[in-house]
Structure 1
């Protein structure tokens, strides 16, 4: 009995020990799993922190400053169409407008009647001046006849004073006739001013005053007429280009090929006639203002319109170029972001030349090979470090063939550049 009881106690103790061992094993496994997960998660957390620090640097695409032959495409300038003649039609006399004799917006011919001012009072004035002239002629005739009789009389029959008076009356009569003639001419001129005609052939605008309005010389312009054919286009070109154009004029005369592109994209291949160039270089812009004259039979060139002017190339010019997307501007002028060797971006002020498709000539501020930011500009500030997206830069912006296709400018290598300079 006692032995069996001891046996049960031993078995019970053995089961309790086995249970505690299992619990301990489970605790150890759980602890190992917990610390293992923590270590694994901590490793992952460290990686994003490093990635986050790296991603804090803005991602940009850069493009090196390159050289291009600017003469592989026509030189492009921005011009404005101007009327060679522009006239404000104003009244020369006072009176009521009796008739408007043109259609607004139409082409009027030189000498065409535009406005008719009521001529009644001016016709009456002409009639009055004619009567005054007739009276003056009659008085002169009487004075001359009397003077002739005095001259024919014997000296003792007429006093010297009477002779002088007769002669004076003749002279006064002649002066009165001249005055009457002048007054009549003035009246006829004023009567002519009642017919307001066009001084030139051109396109007339709106009638600022219409029938029934009383006008005076101080009333201002009744309408405006601009000459539509021919017209001229004025534009400014760099002094270097101006000198080249002078060489071209010497070779080919005053007419040479040009192309105009209007605001709606219409292209006009028309010869330009040399009309005028300024006598000095603008010291602020380094440009010379020039005008070309064009025929405008189709009426496509409207005075005041902005156009793009393309002139034929004169000779080879190797220039520094950057993509148009790199250029930014503020109140101080144009600038670009340049990325240095330590990947720090900073602002460089530049002076720009002609547009060459998707490229822009840089006349000063940059050196060949400097890296300028062409994409990602909205994310950077002066002095910050940036990350360069080399793959995108290589695929999109760093291809000479792609640049050539989009801009029309021939990108040259350093060796080609030297050769071109020697030719130039």
Structure 2
């Protein structure tokens, strides 16, 4: 019995001893986290010239499609495609044989009618003299006068026919209706054309040239003010399809008379010089309009901004290297930067790198650049523990 009690007492004594040995230890305590490495920059004033962009289409100020006014075959082409032609310059000729023959016949008919008129006039004069002497019946005189009037009408009709056929003859030669650039001919020598149906070519006046944009009805007052300035400067810049700004600045030439009720937009036509012929009708691009808020503005890098629930924030470095989250009101983006309308003061330091690891009141360590931030994050020691 004593032996059994002795064996049971051994584990109890060991448990008491182990408890006594560990009684003075305290749980591990987490030390303060090390400062977070960040890169910072100062909010500073800068030249904030920024533009509003509008889709645009190039259109000529004057353009004419050339159609024939008589039918026939093309017998002559008298221009070089793609070159500038002057008003009145001969462009095409339609076979004139038929129209020339009709004209010659009409002129001959005028001469016949004039001869008949001359004979009728003499007969009427002769009969009038005899009538005064009561040497001829009155009926003969009346018939002579009627014949004279008929001869006069025949002359008038013959001359009208000359005018008609001469017009057709004139229309067989097609001339340029304005000075401008002529396109590629739609017909070749020997081609048959019909009046009002066969498009021969198109001429457009392209210096100056127009660029059309559509603006929202809420911006009408702004563009009316810009039109009244009557100045060609950097306010309007046309961006070519390849993204290159066009060398010449534009000005507002025409503001359309009415707003489109379906889209709520108004067409605005800008005028640009086009001496080098770089702008072509139908070309698409964008028009940049200088924003009225351009000038000296507070700028910060856009990468310093975080968005939460459609609101924008930055981390500002304050006293004791602690950061605080600040709500800001933003303006337009200008390259890598953004305009700050409210929420920051010039000279305040904001975090640009290492934002992901920050929280309100965190202590930071300023390093030179993003590479230093990444290096510091990779080598940061784990939180230390202390035992007592």
1:412 equivalent to 2:341? Answer yes
Q: Is the 8 A contact 2:329 2:343 kept in 1?
A: no
2:172 to 155, 179, 194: 194
**Cα RMSD (Å):** 3.4
Which position in structure 2 is the counterpart of 1:376? none
Match of 1:121 among 76, 87, 98: 98
Contact 1:72–1:408 (Cα < 8 Å) also in 2: no
Matches within 5 A, 1:262-301: 262-301=240-279
Per-residue CA deviation, residues 119-140 of structure 1 (Å, 9 max, x unaligned), is 1121111111111010111111
Superposition deviation, residue 409 in structure 1? 5.2
**Is residue 73–residue 408 contact of structure 1 (8 Å, CA) maintained in 2?**
no
CA distance in 1, matches of 2:118, 2:246: 71
String of CA shifts for 1:225-248, please: whole Å, max 9, x gaps: 222222111101122322112123
Aligned match of 1:166 in 130, 144, 155?
144
Q: Is the 8 A contact 2:331 2:339 kept in 1?
A: no
Provide the C-alpha distance between the structure 1 equivalents of 2:49 and 2:221, rounded to a whole number of angstroms. 18
CA offset digits 1:267-316 (Å, max 9, x no partner): 23434343322223334433211112222111011111112212333457
SS of alignment partner, residue 211 of structure 2: strand
How much has 1:153 moved relative to structure 2? 1.9
Distance in 2 between residues matched to 1:178 and 1:254, nearest whole Å: 59
The 5 A counterparts of 1:109-188 are 109-155=86-132, 156-188=134-166
TM-score by length of 1: 0.58
Question: Is 2:221 aligned against 1:221?
Answer: no
Q: Aligned equivalents of 2:329 and 2:231: distance in 1?
A: 37
Q: Distance in 1 between matches of 2:275 and 2:126?
A: 72
The DSSP-based 3-state class of the residue aligned with 2:250 is: strand
How many corresponding residue pairs?
276
Quick one: structure 1 residues 165 and 174, their matched pair in 2 at CA, closer, same or farther if it must change by over 3 Å? Answer: same
Give the gaps of 5 or more residues in structure 2. Answer: 1-47, 296-301, 314-322, 346-388
Would you say the 8 A contact 1:73–1:409 is kept in 2? no
Report the secondary structure of 1:154's partner residue. helix
Matches of 2:294 and 2:330, distance apart in 1: 20
Shift of 1:255: 5.5
- Greater fraction of residues in helix: 1
SS of the residue corresponding to residue 140 of structure 1 reads helix
Matched, 1:211 2:189: yes
The equivalent of 1:358 in structure 2 is none
2:232 is aligned with 1:259: no
- 1:189 deviates by 1.4
- Name the CA distance, whole Å, in 1 between partners of 2:337 and 2:223: 21
Structure 2 residue 237 is the aligned partner of structure 1 residue 237 = no
Task: Tell me if 1:96 matches 2:59.
Answer: no
C-alpha separation in 2, matches of 1:144 and 1:195: 40
Output the CA distance in 1 between the equivalents of 2:332 and 2:154. Answer: 86
Alpha-carbon displacement from aligned partner over 1:145-182 (angstroms, at most 9, x marks no partner): 11111222234223332222221112111111111111
2:87 & 2:215 partners in 1: Cα distance?
Answer: 35
Change (3 A) 1:402 1:290: closer
3-state secondary structure, aligned to 1:135: helix
For 1:408 and 1:161, locate their aligned partners in 2 and report how far apart those are by CA, in whole Å: 107
Contact 1:238-1:286 within 8 A present in 2 as well: yes
Runs of 4+ in structure 1 displaced over 4 angstroms? 254-257, 398-405
Q: Any unmatched runs of 5+ in structure 1?
A: 1-70, 318-323, 325-337, 341-366, 372-393, 417-424
**Normalising to structure 2: TM-score of the pair?**
0.63
Aligned to 2:5: none
How far did residue 406 of structure 1 move? 1.8
Alignment of structure 1 residues 326-345 onto 2, 5 Å: none
Alpha carbons of structure 1 residues 214 and 287: separation in structure 2 relative to 1, 3 Å: closer
**Matches for 1:71-90 after TM superposition, within 5 Å:** 72-90=49-67
Contact (CA 8 Å) 1:239, 1:281: kept in 2 or not? yes
Partner of 1:310: 288
